[in-house]
Structure 1
Amino acid sequence: MEVINTFAAKRSFSQLLARAEQGEEITIARNGKPIATLGPLKSQVTPVRLGDLKGAFTVPDDFDSWSEQDEEDWFGQ
């Protein structure tokens, strides 16, 4: 892990971002003391695949029907 001072980090920020995208971690220091780490994000979201919820619920047969009760509930008539 490379340590870079704040002045150099400001001067070459876009290059540091490109290196972070490649998986490298860079420590940014002020007066020789580390203050931040720049690196790749770790994936926090598990992608959902089609079919993951198969069997988890069933759609009722009357799902898309509209009754008088629905009319009253929605529009108060």
Structure 2
Amino acid sequence: MQVYNIHDAKTNLSRLIEETVNGGEPFVIAKAGKPLVKVVRIDVEVGKSPRRIGFMKGQIKVPADFDTMGADEIAGMFEGKAT
């Protein structure tokens, strides 16, 4: 991916955008060597959406005794007892 400083990007912005829109790769604009922005075609999928914690709230029911379910059976397995 090509990196341009702000001055070069400003000077050549129309050409850079045109190249990117016409199938070229995205480019990065940097200031003092530090990347600031990435320019990509708007119709290109950028990646997966971030995971959403709690997106199934209300769709799953967790039993009240969830943290103790099967405790006797598990303890028996550790103690070598058949259940």
- The letter of the residue matching 1:5 is N
Q: Distance in 1 between matches of 2:30 and 2:44?
A: 26
Q: CA RMSD in A?
A: 1.6
Q: Which runs of 4+ in 1 moved over 3 A?
A: none
Calculate percent identity across the aligned residue pairs.
Answer: 32
User: What per-residue deviation string (whole Å, max 9, x for no partner) do you get for residues 36-70 of structure 1?
Assistant: 011111368xxxxxxxxxxxxxxxxxxxxxxxxxx
Partner in structure 2 of residue 22 of structure 1: 22
Partner in structure 1 of residue 40 of structure 2: 39
Q: Alignment partner of 1:11: what SS?
A: helix
Gaps of at least 5 residues in structure 2 are: 46-83
Q: Alignment partner of 1:40: what SS?
A: coil
Gaps of at least 5 residues in structure 1 are: 45-77
> Could you tell me the TM-score, scaled by structure 1's length?
0.52
Q: Distance in 1 between matches of 2:37 and 2:16?
A: 13
Partner in structure 1 of residue 9 of structure 2: 9
Give the count of matched residue pairs: 44
> Could you tell me the TM-score, scaled by structure 2's length?
0.48
Q: CA deviation at 1:20?
A: 1.5
